[in-house]
Amino acid sequence: MAIFEGAGVALVTPFLPDGEVNYKKLEELLEEQIAGGTDAIISCGTTGESSTMTHEEHIQVVKFTCEVVNKRIPVIAGTGSNSTREAVHLSEAAEKAGADGLLLVTPYYNKATQAGLFAHYSAVADGVGIPILLYHIPGRTGVTMLPETMVKLCREVPNIVGIKEASANFSAIAQIMNLADGCVDLYSGNDDQIVPILSLGGKGVISVLSNIAPRQTHDICEAYMAGDVKRSCELQLQAIPLVNALFCEVNPIPVKAALDLMGKNPGPLRMPLTEMEPRNKERLAKAMREYGIL
């Protein structure tokens, strides 16, 4: 059984003006997501600025998220690292904190071989008992994991159950699903490709768009899964201008700006990320107005 089906939100981490985590605001955002129909919370992923968190902050945010959500929907913790020992430590801590699953990005910078990737993920999986999703985003990590490696991991390691695919390489993604023969739970890592991924047998999306449009993103998936492919496609295409605006600068700069425009006050970004360029913020605001959320 999949960890979740539908739209999981890659949630931002709100910060106070001094840069500390704003736990009051985080609770508000979590409650809004659940009320908005989001199917899962992804805590401390790329959108959550996990790369600028200390280990202590990272674990505390996951723990707090699990406590607030309280099993109403699954919580998946981002616990990947380019250090296998660090990934094991964060993964064990997230499991102890109550996470329902883990999201592990391919190790960045080291440029591991396919054998190294298999060994890395196997070592992390061996340290925990909850299900794991691989996170394949070569544009950020500089590492491409081959379809054969992903499928081998899902087939041979019991608690590695699926993949968040953000490579946009549909030939490779189709090859994954061809080789998988049902052993891979596939999720889109790109909001403009939800329906194409679902058409290849995907379970849903891990979404940035859901931060500002949880119900609409959920509905794209729900319509498809209910057999209304035409409606799902319509909803997907309606979202494209907004999705493009949300990625006109590096994530999560635009989505935090969008939340700010909505009056949700997610607080500052942590450096080296900086505030959105004014002309891009205008483009974002226009797309949000046209989409009907501003």
Cross-strand pairs, 204 = 6, 187
Rounded mean pLDDT, 119-126: 98
Closest alpha carbon to 223 in 195, 182, 260: 195
Our answer to whether residue 164 is catalytic in this structure is: yes
CB atoms within 10 A of CB 204: 28
Catalytic choice (63, 121, 135, 152): 135
Closest alpha carbon to 108 in 87, 88, 135, 81: 81
pLDDT above 90 for 3: yes
Rounded mean pLDDT, 1-19: 96
Q: How far apart are the first and last CA of the chain?
A: 37
pLDDT above 90 for 141: yes
pLDDT above 90 for 1: no
Our answer to whether residue 135 is catalytic in this structure is: yes
Residue with the two structure tokens 């430590």: 89
Please give the mean pLDDT across all residues of the chain.
Answer: 98
Angstrom CA distances, 7 to 24, 70, 168, 188, 227, stand at 24, 18, 18, 9, 16
Rounded mean pLDDT, 199-217: 98
pLDDT above 90 for 121: yes
**By the 8 A CB rule, do 110 and 137 touch?**
no
Please tell me what DSSP assigns to residue 15. B
Beta strands (DSSP E) in 6-67 are 6-10, 40-43
Rounded mean pLDDT, 85-103: 98
How many residues in total does the chain contain?
A: 294
pLDDT above 90 for 63: yes
Please tell me what DSSP assigns to residue 151. H
Catalytic choice (25, 63, 152, 164): 164
Residue with the two structure tokens 């939800």: 194
Angstrom CA distances, 33 to 8, 48, 61, 245, 274, stand at 10, 15, 16, 21, 25
**For position 83, what pLDDT does the model report?**
97
pLDDT above 90 for 125: yes
275's CB contacts (< 8 A; 6+ apart) are 253, 257, 268, 269
In the chain, what percentage of residues exceed pLDDT 90?
100
**For position 233, what pLDDT does the model report?**
98
Rounded mean pLDDT, 236-244: 98
What's this model's pTM, rounded to 2 decimal places? 0.97
**For position 235, what pLDDT does the model report?**
98
Phi and psi, residue 98, nearest 5°: 110, 10
Can you read off the two tokens belonging to residue 3? 């960890």
**By the 8 A CB rule, do 231 and 225 touch?**
no
In the chain, what percentage of residues exceed pLDDT 70?
100
Rounded mean pLDDT, 195-224: 98
Angstrom CA distances, 234 to 105, 205, 220, 225, stand at 31, 17, 8, 14
**For position 273, what pLDDT does the model report?**
97
CB atoms within 10 A of CB 82: 17
157-167 residue pLDDT tens: 999 999 999 99
Rounded mean pLDDT, 276-294: 98
176-192 residue pLDDT tens: 999 999 999 999 999 99
